[in-house]
Amino acid sequence: MTLPNEIFDDMIELTDVCIKTSATALKAVNELDELLETAFGNRERKVVSSIIKDINRLESKSDKIQHVIRAKLFPLEASLPPVDVIFYYRAVEWLGELADAAQKVGSRLEVLLAK
């Protein structure tokens, strides 16, 4: 099974964005040590807040790419094997869930900063 050419580049871009989103969430978690050492100091808060904004921006970008892929995939459904189509949609969904999980990490850190 191979990806249709019409969605290939978008799937690669989605995968890349999801990896970047997860890596950025990891970066935010790694900043927790610094945050604790500085007793939630203002400078460190700003650093973590900036990272959280990056996570949200990347996750939003992944949502847009998912929408583009689904819009391109829909007209192709009739010409592709049904099982392949289901797999493509599920792959897009799973990648989206990865970015959503990273955003959830950022949201929880944001709550931690607010207290």
Q: Is 70 exposed, middle or buried (0-12, 13-18, 19+ CB in 10 A)?
A: middle
**Residue 92: is its pLDDT beyond 90?**
yes
Task: Tell me the mean pLDDT in the region 63-91.
Answer: 97
**If pLDDT is split at 50, 70 and 90, which confidence band does 61 have?**
very high
Domain that holds residue 79: 5-114
pLDDT tens-digit readout, 3-14: 999 999 999 999
Say if CB 43 and CB 31 are below 8 A apart: no
Give the integer Cα–Cα distance in Å for 22 and 100.
9
% pLDDT > 90, the chain: 80
Q: Which residue has the higher pLDDT, 7 or 32?
A: 7
Give the integer Cα–Cα distance in Å for 102 and 2.
28
Core vs surface per residue 38-64: b (16+ CB within 10 A) or e: eeeeeebeebbeebbebbbebbebbbe
Task: Tell me the mean pLDDT in the region 65-89.
Answer: 97
pTM for the predicted model, two decimal places: 0.90
| CATH code for position 25 | 1.20.58.220
Work out how many domains the chain is built from and give that number: 1
